[in-house]
Structure 1
């Protein structure tokens, strides 16, 4: 049976049959596995869920049962923990020790084929960004208490950084964690806002203020949420990704054991910043795919829709719009792809130093790409692109994702500034190192 020819811009070049130096047989097999599972678990009803504003209660457990939550964790995976829990392979037979950042890219890209950050975010965002701080910075005892149930999907976790008065300005966080008189607990007070998956989470990896003002006073703490005295949570209604469980959290003298401290007290700012890198890269990947879904849908529509006696595709102005948006889309994908490949060849330390600023820039560019592609799709679909049902609904849905691409994980303007500041910092450090090495005498000191 012959396969349908893919619509232009509907898939990344390597899935359109073009050669690529990045992917091996493991990656290609993983892509087929991910596509089959996403087609089974998400695609049939994702748009209807997004319209209704919620996903089925058992969706998370279905992902957990398939070991399909684990790929949300940054590569390399926590192999020792997975083996300890009897998990040696991912779906399709991929060994957990063979999982790299290109497998991450494939997973995130496939999960976003619904055309919205909502349905996939309902099952991925919490574990993707809430568990890594515990795995990377938590001591052995902390991991023993929380990792097994979270990694197997028995319990859920989220990341809780943002507050009503502190978004991209993390150092301005006001939620406090004050030690009790006996020194055994923290009492946590404050509010967290726009916390994805918060409604369903048993725990949050939370940024709190344990010291004075500024970044040096911040720490990270595992704070219990569901069924915890002093915690109240409610859903926030947002314009896009309505199914992701965006949450407002109030904390009133929430008693948390001191043993729930992640890493070292006062090092919270560093942990938050390093965790952002994984978040920003996955945002860049998923937003590119949503842009692709919208633009390719418009491309297909323009080949069928007639106006002024000929198809829209026969109108030069239409082709011009598609070309400009397509160029932005593919350029961003190529950069993100190359960027991810670098992650497979670099240590975490080197990647955080060399790629941190560029990750912020890629994330910012993703917001600009979806703005171009979604707006193009809406305009070319015409009235259908402004309607929440029918053939243009995918364009309308993608357009509502623009703010969710530009703001979470660091607002666009902050990311652009951060990227250049980080590049300047690295340049100056390397210049100083080079100058020092040139001044240092070489050779033997003997006459």
Structure 2
């Protein structure tokens, strides 16, 4: 959107920003939201569509965000307060790092997606959101000392490399191998990674590799050097949406990595990856909800002024019907995501992963469906303008091309729907066993 102020067009803002009562957002949250919107608008969103059109975000955008600690909010809450303070990072736009919670995170993610296109924000955030957290959560003190000072201050860029050409959502079938040397000092990695967001700009990555036998129990995580490292070849991939996100193909040919670069324990990689996925899926759901808002509110505004057959589109019952159905889906999703944020803020991390992991997968899948509905409605109501890469419908045309980027990464939609129910059955069986009932 063009303005820093709240947009009055229906469906354009979450309810709390339309001065409706909310149990979730404190005065401090609301104050941060205003500062956050102003900063992100000035340094990113004002030019986001232009960046997406050109396929790249200028380096100074990363530098400005990093300088003001505005990449830190991508990390899971609570933040790694000890490390941040040790590195001189005490606040984020006035919010003390020790006071940061998931609703601050959600506000930040919502504002980062307010341009409507996901590429510009994705170009900045993947390393902090997905690459660094496993090092923080599972890395040894020695590994953290080696890498976190550069990663958390943005001196070195980082990404997450899980997906492979033949192993997307099927993480357990990763084929990239890491073989330990006879003297135990290093591992040699061979294989390839595909669709890696931000990879092309990253000095390092958190990478899943096979150190053991087949299946998830044979996977481990490593911090692997990328840019200019012997044996590593990278090239950008052209994708239909999120064009400036730096989607990358990585090939690894006898890449030597010090043994101390392993994250946690050998053979525990699958567990670490799945824990990381919960944060990734929730962040996607938050950002996608805002994208759906931008699409639907843009259509709403267009229908108020566009005339056809002697009246505005908004005067046509069929148009109002489309807007209403999409709007109901959107507001339901928003309420569900806020409920997740509240629940996770009031549960121990382990319990949240266990009880809400499946539902988080379901919410991420639902978010992609809702974005698809809102984007489709917007393009249809814009008519020919929505089918054009410039002019009045340029934004909704771009949002529609972003839809697969919401429905596939982080676990593709059908895989997540199946996973969600399997996880719910698993939780039920565990509860039933405690009560002495029969399993299903």
Structure-1-length-normalised TM-score: 0.96
Deviations 1:24-69 (A, max 9, x none): 1121111111101111111121101101111102221111001101
Name the CA distance, whole Å, in 2 between partners of 1:57 and 1:207: 28
- Distance, in Å, in 2 between the alignment partners of 1:300 and 1:140 is 53
1:45 aligns with 2:47: yes
- What are structure 1's unaligned runs of at least 5 residues? 437-447
Distance verdict in 2 for CA 1:5–1:64, change over 3 Å: closer
The alignment status of 1:425 with 2:426, answered yes or no, reads: yes
Structure showing greater radius of gyration is 1
Aligned to 2:181: 180
Matched residue count? 433
**Worse-superposed segment, 190-199 or 338-347:** 338-347
Q: How far apart are 1:234 and its partner, in Å? A: 0.2
| TM alignment of 1:331-410, pairs within 5 A | 331-410=332-411
Q: Secondary structure at the match of 1:244?
A: coil
Q: Distance in 2 between matches of 1:349 and 1:398?
A: 35
CA spacing shift, 1:307–1:233, aligned 2, 3 Å: same
Q: Is 1:143 the counterpart of 2:144 in the alignment?
A: yes
Which contiguous aligned blocks of 4+ residues in structure 1 show a shift greater than 4 angstroms?
Answer: none
The aligned residue for residue 155 of structure 2 is: 154
Distance 1:5 1:139, change over 3 A: closer
Inter-partner Cα distance in structure 2 for 1:70 and 1:177? 31
Aligned residue in 2 for 1:440: none
Distance 2:41 2:7 in 1: 19
C-alpha separation in 2, matches of 1:28 and 1:344: 18
In structure 2, the residue matched to 1:246 is 247
Q: Work out the CA distance in 2 between the residues paired with 1:361 and 1:37.
A: 32
Alignment-derived partner of residue 83 in structure 1: 85
| Whole-Å separation in 1 of the counterparts to 2:22 and 2:236 | 43
CA distance in 2: counterparts of 1:434 and 1:97, whole angstroms: 39
SS in 2 for 1:270: helix
Listed one character per residue, the Cα deviations across residues 166-209 of structure 1 (whole Å, up to 9, x for unaligned) are 01100000000001122100000000000000000010100000
Instruction: Tell me how far 1:5 sits from its aligned partner.
Output: 6.3
- Superposed CA offset, 1:270-296 (max 9, x none): 000000000000000101100110100
Distance 1:435 1:391 in 2: 62
Q: Does 1:316 align with 2:312?
A: no
Alignment pair present for 1:121 and 2:122:
yes
Q: In structure 1, what is the Cα distance between the partners aligned to 2:84 and 2:20?
A: 35
- Superposition RMSD in Å: 0.9
Q: Secondary structure at the match of 1:435?
A: coil
Q: Provide Cα deviations, 1:148-177, integer angstroms capped at 9, x if missing partner.
A: 111111111100000001011000000000
The answer for the alignment partner of 2:260 in structure 1 is 259
Structure 2 unmatched ranges of 5 or more? none
Partner of 1:26: 28
Counterpart Cα distance in 1 of 2:84 and 2:7: 40
* Aligned with 1:73 (options 72, 75, 92): 75
Q: What secondary structure does 1:205 align onto?
A: strand
Partner of 1:445: none
Residues 264-273 or 178-187, more deviating? 178-187
What residue is the counterpart of 2:327 in the other structure? 326
